[in-house]
Amino acid sequence: MLEPTVPELQDIRRRVEQVARLSDGLVKIGGLRLGLDGVLAWLPGVGEVYSTAAGGYILYQGVRAGVPVTTLAKCGALLLGRTGITAVPLAGPLAADFFTAHRWSAKMVLKAIDKKLAAMGVPQPAPEGLMRRMWSGRRPFASAV
């Protein structure tokens, strides 16, 4: 597999961020973030299908970006746990509302992509929106802007 170009990495990065926002960050209520993943978890079968598809998409994009296998393995474990947790009646969907594995996995993939872009000499603007919250106030690449 060929190494992705800068525009390809930037496109992959955008797609991963969109899936994370859609899955686990559409609405913020206090410290709780709710997205399609949390809502669909309450529908038997539907939540598992969405969670598997969204998680698989994040992993696929990570593979396309050349994210390290160790990072992808951690993401896969998180996503597998997230999908399996909804099998527990009532408590599972409730736990899924708090277990934002898509967001956490996306954060790991995005961090790896940002590292690759930085190594390619691409200055990155300070993260906005979802990524600013994900970086917990850290401003990577701020000196390059």
- What DSSP designation does 4 have? P
Phi and psi torsions of 99, nearest 5°: -95, 85
- What CA–CA distance (Å, rounded) separates 16 from 63? 12
Residues of the chain with pLDDT below 70 are: 1, 125-145
Nearest Cα residue to 97 out of 76, 82, 84? 82
- What CA–CA distance (Å, rounded) separates 71 from 138? 20
Please say whether the beta carbons of 33 and 24 come within 8 A.
yes
End-to-end CA distance of the chain: 31
pTM exceeding the 0.85 threshold for the entire prediction: no
Q: What is the pLDDT of residue 144?
A: 42
Cα dihedral: 28, 31, 32, 34 (round 10): 30
Q: What is the pLDDT of residue 141?
A: 45
pLDDT in tens, 17-50: 999 999 988 888 887 778 898 888 888 888 889 9
Q: What is the pLDDT of residue 16?
A: 97
- CA 68 from centroid of its chain's CA atoms: 15
